[in-house]
Structure 1
Amino acid sequence: MSKLAENIISLVGGKESIDSVTHCMTRLRFVLTDDMEAETNKEQLESLEGVAGVVNNGGQFQVIIGNNVETVYQEIEAQLGKEKEEGSKEDKRNWLDRFFDTLSGIFVPVIPAIAGAGILKGLLVVLVNLGWVSGESNTYMVLDVISDAVFYFLPILLAFNAAKKFRCNPIIAATIGTILLHPTFTGVVAEGNVAIDFFSIPFTLMNYSSSVLPIIIGVWLLSYIERFIKSWMPKVLDIVFTPVFSLLITVPIILIVIGPISIWIGDLVSTGINALYSNLTFIAGMVLGAVYPLLVLTGTHYGLLPIMLQNISSNGYDVILALCAAGNTAVAGTVLSVYFKAKSKTNKSLSISSTISGLIGVVEPGLYGLIIKYKKLFGAVFAGGAAGGLIMGIFQVESTGFGLNPLGGLPVFFGDTFSYYLIGITVSFIVSLVVGLIIGLPEEENK
């Protein structure tokens, strides 16, 4: 990994060209002061053993690594010799690129915990249905708490990550999350006494468990308030009084203004999407199932995470993840078709490994290693994703959490619609495989 990290740093333009580097689940994300050299060396980067692909998108130069991305990232950080502070230089990316980068930075670190909890939720359903665990037992209670805690306390986890992106104190941000979830507040809401006041200012107290928008917007506000206080606070008093004033100013604004409005907006968006989905199930299913791999290709699929989490928070289930599973399965089926058409051992080997990783839920190797290379195969991806998404949409397949899909997080789909989920991903895989075989590969692949 040391040599791979060294080569990547060199080929993207050296240490002096790297403004910042972060990572998501499968790719390194570089913000470069000048990406000309990195673009020139793109083919060399793609040829490195351990690199699945390269894409320059949204103001970021992204190097796709796969499951080892965390190890490579840590080695790069070590070789750079210091932590690269995000935003240390003027960010010239447009607002949309910065928005998706921020979402990625906030949500991606939480995904492993959410995925693990979601899988446990699904397994718990199976244990109860099989009669192995009673829903009234203490064992069920413990397992239920383990699977539910990450969702209930999600604002605290998001607050910590948001603080890193907005460059304010992560502990103070997490403290705000704990305040919103304090038993006194949750108890008042549970009793129905939500109309309260603060210094005679009336407001509606909300239930912030599992919420997304209030804490993210609140921490964004905290970042400005904290910097303003630090600008005039004497250094000798900073360690105590900056947190005090930050909390006293930020928390009431969240409770009185940001929280109620954010909860209302989140519920409105969730309700609107579900209403649209309920009335246009096959259209919505086909479209998202077909285009989801394109979102993965550009790294914008993280924009769906807040919507999925809001759905789970509001309804107890989500319908979007199943459509994403149809798209991922279509990629796996398409890259398997390459195995039967390719002449080179390299492509055959890449096809098998990419099919396996794609079925687990990591589709970047197949997308960047084969489908981008043979662009006509996108037809197979779209066909398979649309076919699987159609079935998922018609039967409104639900998930109770978040996990790698189609198979990596299978238990999150356990429930009344599980059989339709299996049918959906099977159809998606078969359709994409057959269409991929029909499309075939260009003649130059044989050379």
Structure 2
Amino acid sequence: MKYTKLVAMIVENVGTKDNINSVVHCTTRLRFKLKDEKKANTDFLKEADGIVTVVQSGGQYQVVIGNHVADVYQELMQQTGLDGQEQVPDDNKGSLLDRFIDLISGIFAPALGLLAATGMIKGLLSLFLTFGWLAETSGTYVVLQALGDSFFYFLPIMLGYTASKKFNVNPFLAMVIGATLVYPSIVGLSPMAMAMAGAGAEPLYTLFSGTIFESPIYVTFLGIPVVMMSYSSSVIPIILAVWFASKVEPFFKKIIPDVVKTFLVPFCSALVVIPITFLVIGPISTWLGTALGAGSLAVYQFSPILAGLIIGGLWQVLVIFGLHWGLVPIAILNIATLGYDPILTLTFAASFAQIGAVLAVVVRTKDKKTKGLGISAFISGIFGVTEPAIYGITLPRKKPFIASCIAGAAGGAVLGLMGTKGYIVGGLGIFGIPSMINPKTGIDSTFYGIFIAIAVAFILAFVLTIVLDKRQGDKSLKATK
């Protein structure tokens, strides 16, 4: 009941329920896919109480709500009767970039909360081991480690479900594809597992010998060699497999009689999709993922400091337009293949730069509403949620936002200089700090780089904002009401 009027107003001004194809939410935003964005009353929504701003990007109509967006979303579902995950085909496909960002955000946004939560558990376990509070042999550690590893290890199943909603595939078929990829017997046939099995695990023969694609063959399917990969924690194979299923499943729906569709459509679809996934899609997509990881690592190795300056400085700009989703799968790929990610880590100090700028505005302003929103945005920013700070405080004033970007670049440069890396897909803000503990060496100099970067970004943003934004007693802007 708390958000009844707010939701009714939003629905009315996005063009009513009839104009909504689908809607999902992330940390702070309702992400609509509208049939016609011209029907939405954007100017009204931007000025409305309870809404921070509206962003039209990535083929999505994004209404920024704040930290309570999940509650607003639930009320929206109740009022409209919509299935927030169900995707309705668009007449307007948008640009290639829009479609890519929409695809990535649609697949990863629903899963990111739990992925971060389980990563936080692993991060805390790393702390407990480092300080000797838990032993690896203890039952407590074993249970919590299983909880922390579960989501990332079985990521193909989770992404199979979310991808099924984007590609309009039976979600159980998509989850079966993911489950097959991480089935214990399949995992045991990966080259690494077979190598660990000892001398008795000799390959039948080797394909592409002497190339970067050299692949020992341990099993065949109907006489066809199967290039086995390790699919646990993988990203690209399941997404491409579910996309392929979206082409296969409708074909069988057309040719199979209605009386037996219930079981014959998934039966035939699975028998076609899963073997082709292992024979073609899995190996090619895994090689592609390895290449993407190697490419991102090459950019980082060329100059970690320069990479930190660019990525750290642009991160908040990417967040505004929803383009930051493009780095999420790269980070997951790097952790799955390399055991660490240096790329997304370079953005870590940016949220602290943002709250440094916010604190400067709060200190200087005499407007009570600005102070109230600023304090709330500051607290959210500590935990890595910066949209309230961006849209409510810094971006409307421009100079504080520029200061936060400069400070984010400086923090990113420090992280690059110190060689700080992320080893877990962990939480945001201060909850993400434990994810940068090296599981092999524990707390080392690279870990201390986090605190140096945070301090540099926060202090520099605060000072620059004080210097650049000289308005005192400023009147309340729309977004600060």
Percent of paired sites with the same residue: 41
Aligned length: 445
Which of residues 259, 273, 281 is equivalent to 2:296? 273
TM-score for both structures, normalised by structure 1 = 0.95
Report if aligned partners of 1:350, 1:369 keep a CA contact under 8 Å in 2: yes
2:396 is equivalent to residue 341 of structure 1: no
Report if aligned partners of 1:322, 1:421 keep a CA contact under 8 Å in 2: no
2:374 is equivalent to residue 351 of structure 1: yes
- Alignment match, 1:425: 454
- Alignment match, 1:80: 80
Deviation at 1:373?
0.9
Deviations 1:398-421 (A, max 9, x none): 222223432133321234322110
Distance, in Å, in 2 between the alignment partners of 1:94 and 1:275 is 28
- Alignment match, 2:104: 103
Report if aligned partners of 1:53, 1:365 keep a CA contact under 8 Å in 2: no
- Alignment match, 2:412: 389
Distance, in Å, in 1 between the alignment partners of 2:470 and 2:345 is 30
- Alignment match, 1:238: 261
Cα-Cα RMSD: 1.9
Report if aligned partners of 2:305, 2:414 keep a CA contact under 8 Å in 1: yes
TM-score for both structures, normalised by structure 2 = 0.88
Secondary structure in 2 matching 1:188: coil
Deviation at 1:441?
4.9
Go from structure 1 to structure 2 and tell me whether the alpha carbon gap of 1:441 and 1:227 turns closer, same or farther (over 3 Å shift). farther
- AA matched with 2:61: F
Moved over 4 A (4+): 441-444
Which of residues 220, 225, 231 is equivalent to 1:202? 225
> Once structures 1 and 2 are overlaid, which stretch shifts more, 165-174 or 395-404?
395-404
1:23-62 counterparts in 2 under 5 A?
23-38=25-40, 40-42=41-43, 44-62=44-62
Report if aligned partners of 1:355, 1:366 keep a CA contact under 8 Å in 2: yes
1:178-193 counterparts in 2 under 5 A?
178-189=179-190, 190-192=193-195, 193=203
Deviations 1:105-163 (A, max 9, x none): 11111112211221111211121122222223343333222211211111010001100
Deviation at 1:428?
0.5
Secondary structure in 2 matching 1:207: coil
1:217-228 counterparts in 2 under 5 A?
217-228=240-251
- Alignment match, 1:411: 434
Which of residues 324, 339, 359 is equivalent to 2:347? 324
- Alignment match, 1:127: 128
Distance, in Å, in 2 between the alignment partners of 1:269 and 1:140 is 34
Distance, in Å, in 2 between the alignment partners of 1:318 and 1:166 is 29
Report if aligned partners of 1:342, 1:441 keep a CA contact under 8 Å in 2: no
Deviation at 1:218?
0.4
Distance, in Å, in 2 between the alignment partners of 1:128 and 1:230 is 53
Go from structure 1 to structure 2 and tell me whether the alpha carbon gap of 1:289 and 1:184 turns closer, same or farther (over 3 Å shift). same
- AA matched with 1:142: V
> Once structures 1 and 2 are overlaid, which stretch shifts more, 354-363 or 74-83?
74-83
- Alignment match, 2:162: 161
Deviation at 1:267?
1.2
Go from structure 1 to structure 2 and tell me whether the alpha carbon gap of 1:30 and 1:291 turns closer, same or farther (over 3 Å shift). same
Secondary structure in 2 matching 1:28: strand
Q: Which runs of 5 or more residues in structure 2 are unaligned?
A: 196-202, 204-215, 438-442, 477-481
Deviation at 1:12?
2.0
Secondary structure in 2 matching 1:107: helix
Secondary structure in 1 matching 2:54: strand
Go from structure 1 to structure 2 and tell me whether the alpha carbon gap of 1:66 and 1:126 turns closer, same or farther (over 3 Å shift). same
- Alignment match, 1:151: 152
Go from structure 1 to structure 2 and tell me whether the alpha carbon gap of 1:281 and 1:41 turns closer, same or farther (over 3 Å shift). closer
- AA matched with 1:398: K
2:459 is equivalent to residue 436 of structure 1: no
Report if aligned partners of 2:30, 2:63 keep a CA contact under 8 Å in 1: yes
Distance, in Å, in 2 between the alignment partners of 1:59 and 1:178 is 31
Report if aligned partners of 1:121, 1:400 keep a CA contact under 8 Å in 2: no
- Alignment match, 1:2: 4
Report if aligned partners of 2:236, 2:289 keep a CA contact under 8 Å in 1: yes
- AA matched with 2:194: E
